[in-house]
Amino acid sequence: MAVQHEKRVFGYPSSLTDAPFHYCPGCTHGIAHRLVAEAIDDLRLKEHTVGVASVGCSVFTYNYFNCDMQQASHGRAPAVATGIKRVSPETIVFTYQGDGDLASIGTAEIIHAAARGENITVIFINNTNFGMTGGQMAPTTLPGQKTTTTPLGRDVKKAGYPLRVCELLSALDGPAYLARVSLHSPKEVLRAKKAIRKAFETQVAGAGFSLVEVLSTCPTNWGLPPKKALEYLRDEVAKYYPLGEFRDGPREVEACSTR
Amino acid sequence: MERKLMKGNEAVGEAAIAAGCRYFFGYPITPQNELPEYMARRLPEVGGTYLQAESEVSAINMVYGAAGAGARVMTSSSSPGISLKQEGLSYLAGAELPCVVVNMMRGGPGLGGIQPAQSDYFQATKGGGHGDYHLLVLAPAYVQELVDLVQEAFDLADKYRNPVMILGDGVLGQMMEPVAITKYIDPRDLPKKEWATTGASGRRPNLINSLYIDPVELAAHNRKLAAKYQRMCREEQRFQEYCLEDAETILVAYGVMARICRSVVDMARHSGLKWGLFRPISLYPFPGDALYDRAKEAGVRRVVTAELSCGQLIEDVRLALDGLVPTELLAYPGGLVPSPAEVFRQAKSERGALNGCSA
Ligand SMILES: Cc1ncc(C[n+]2csc(CCOP(=O)(O)OP(=O)(O)O)c2C)c(N)n1
Ligand code: SF4
């Protein structure tokens, strides 16, 4: 009898370990991990990649990415990544940061890494709150959104307005690739995959700083079941934070004459 | 041996390069600016990288990344900037990463002043950041010693996988003295760091980390660190003594204050007083064993600590002596560096010794 060879059509990316994710049910951190791993696999970068884990729900990301990893202090991942990249320009260096980490405590580090055009890739998970510490307000929390520290909804008169990171960074000359994607539907997940791949390609080409902002769910702290959380992501979050590419390719800036 | 007149801050830079350091991350602050400026000029000549960070916080985290990637790396600052580096130093110690950090101290607290001081002694030797950790702290008093200790600091950092701090002051950073740098290391000749994150090619992935969420694992990690610090205490206590053989009064001072006290001892000897100087070179580990041995000698009547701060060094002196002989404090805070004559006069009038803020 002829042996039937099964053709593998789907599997686990080799850039992920087989450790089970600790994320809550319906949390899209896991999808984002997979997309990053797939990009690293597709571009055959696993053996040359160093990831930087940040502080937040994704702190244990070093258990999941099957490559060299450094764990950074809260908000400082872009500075740590800078140190790694300056020592080993041939390695591919990425950070994986939440919105508390990147857009609150780490604003200086991200803005200056972007302004330097540091040749690193930043995966920025915007779930509009501090997930790990129990759902407090983040700079990205939507106007009116309830969190544990804005129990009546974010009152912009008191708590200020959200930060739109891609728009903010697109004011700089340093970035070579900036995109905002969302994980609310299979179609958007595929778009996100493309953007993440493009960000890594930007680094491989030596073009400079790349960042993909990934709009993501936090069903636990939003107090929504997973499906409703995806709808909230589509209807509210992706409305306040428009999707798309904000920079596609490095800028040429002429230097002034030396004195 | 060729000797060259060099400013302390610049000598640090050349010594670091001689030790195989090719990466420097800094942020300007007086009185150490000549060091980052020297590195910005010199590192590209030897294929290295100088990068001005957006803050001391970023600079120390760049050091973390570079150290984790396996490089010999340095940063420098002065007191307020060193305060900002404390979080990073705690992470470096926790993740067991080698690096060299220079603090050319100025007066504090707050913005303080820009004159030389020694008021970061506690911060440097007792931890500074959060958690159970220590830096290895070396305090040179001469520019040549600064050069030698910077070179050695890189070896010690690698030996212990721990940050090493060079604790100097504005005087040492700004003064010029002849120095010789004899040994230049090519970083490519240094032993490979198998634990570094260089890309997991043909091996299992490496992890640089200070998070141990399981308390049993964290306790084990803390015990491992503690054992390392105990080993430092056994193997790295350094000091220099001057005229201690028959001394009745022992002066204890480090850095620039020790230079002043050396002159004080000369003055005392000149007027027939049996004084000597004990100069700690390693501040952590504090050379307490040797100090105790010297103070145990029959003729020793008192130990006088002189420092450019209000009673910090004296705490380690008292811990080491454990009540063996009376101790006195001469405290000179705020950047007012005393003359040898002034110290001599105050140290002579036994009750004149200020007890400062330390009761
Ligand atoms: C210096 C410091 N401050 C505060 C904390 C506590 N902390 C841990 S995670 C976190 C926020 C994480 O939120 P985010 O980056 O949005 O990631 P998420 O958990 O939502 O994925 C905070 C404030 C810390 N670990 N370190
Ligand atoms: S708390 Fe929120 S962000 Fe964190 S794992 Fe749970 S759902 Fe995800």
What CATH number is associated with residue A64?
A: 3.40.50.970
* Domain presence at residue A155: yes
Q: Which ranges of chain B would DSSP assign to H, the alpha helix?
A: 8-18, 34-42, 56-68, 79-84, 86-94, 121-125, 143-160, 170-174, 215-235, 255-270, 288-295, 313-321, 340-348
Lateral strand order in the sheet of B73-77: B49-52, B23-26, B73-77, B99-105, B163-169, B136-138, B282-284
B199/A49 CB distance under 8 A: yes
Residue B334's identity, in one-letter code, is G
* Domain presence at residue A209: yes
Q: Which atom of ligand 2 is nearest to the CA of A127?
A: 3
Of B97, B261, B104, which Cα lies nearest the Cα of B173? B104
Residue A143's identity, in one-letter code, is P
* Domain presence at residue A201: yes
CA distances from A149 to A128, A179, A220 (A): 13, 29, 15
pLDDT of residue B352: 45
Q: Which residues of A touch B198 (CB under 8 A)?
A: 50, 68, 88, 91
* Domain presence at residue A59: yes
The three-state secondary structure class of B235 is helix
B-facing residues of A in 78-107 (CB < 8 A) are 79-88, 90-91
A70/B57 CB distance under 8 A: no
Has residue B358 got a pLDDT over 60? no
- A30 CB under 6 A from ligand 1? no
CA distances from B216 to A70, A71, A124, B226, B345 (A): 22, 20, 32, 15, 56
Return the axis-axis angle of helices B313-321 and B288-295, rounded to nearest 10°.
60
For residues B61-70, give the mean pLDDT. Answer: 99
Cis before B285? omega within 30 = yes
Extents of the domains making up chain B: 4-200+222-235, 239-348
Query: What digits encode the pLDDT tens for the residues A75-126?
Result: 999 999 999 999 999 999 999 999 999 999 999 999 999 999 999 999 999 9
* Domain presence at residue A118: yes
Looking at the complex, report in whole angstroms how far the Cα of residue B21 sits from the nearest Cα belonging to chain A.
11
Please give the share of chain A, as a percent, with pLDDT higher than 70. 99
The torsion angles phi and psi of B279, rounded to 5 degrees, stand at -115, 105
Q: Which helix (H) or strand (E) holds A214?
A: strand A209-215
* Domain presence at residue A219: yes
Separation CA A176–CA A155 (nearest Å): 35
- Number of other CB atoms surrounding residue B154 within 10 Å: 24
Query: What digits encode the pLDDT tens for the residues B139-174?
Result: 999 999 999 999 999 999 999 999 999 999 989 999
Has residue A21 got a pLDDT over 70? yes
Has residue B351 got a pLDDT over 60? no
Locate A108 and state its tokens.
């200086």
Which range marks the domain in which residue A179 is found? 32-248
Dihedral in degrees, nearest 10, Cα atoms A7, A13, A14, A18? -110
How many domains does chain A contain in total? Answer: 1
For the domain B239-348, what is the CATH code?
Answer: 3.40.50.920
Q: Tell me whether domains B4-200+222-235 and B239-348 share a fold.
A: yes
Separation CA A169–CA A167 (nearest Å): 6
Cis before B31? omega within 30 = yes
B199/A47 CB distance under 8 A: yes
Strand partners, A52: A70, A95
Please give the share of chain B, as a percent, with pLDDT higher than 70. 97
* Domain presence at residue A20: no
Instruction: Tell me the pLDDT band of A2, cut-offs 50, 70 and 90.
Output: low
Query: What digits encode the pLDDT tens for the residues B270-323?
Result: 999 999 999 999 999 999 999 999 999 989 999 999 999 999 999 999 999 999
Query: What digits encode the pLDDT tens for the residues A146-178?
Result: 999 999 999 999 999 999 999 999 999 999 999
Query: What digits encode the pLDDT tens for the residues B324-336?
Result: 999 999 999 988 9
CB B341 within 8 A of CB B260: no
For residues B249-258, give the mean pLDDT. Answer: 98
Separation CA B149–CA B179 (nearest Å): 13
Looking at the complex, report in whole angstroms how far the Cα of residue A208 sits from the nearest Cα belonging to chain B.
16
Instruction: Specify the fold of B4-200+222-235.
Output: Rossmann fold (3.40.50)
* Domain presence at residue A93: yes
Separation CA B204–CA A235 (nearest Å): 43
Q: Which atom of ligand 1 is nearest to the CA of A102?
A: 15
Which ligand sits nearest to residue A22's alpha carbon? 2
Q: Chain A to chain B, count of Cβ pairs less than 8 Å apart?
A: 132
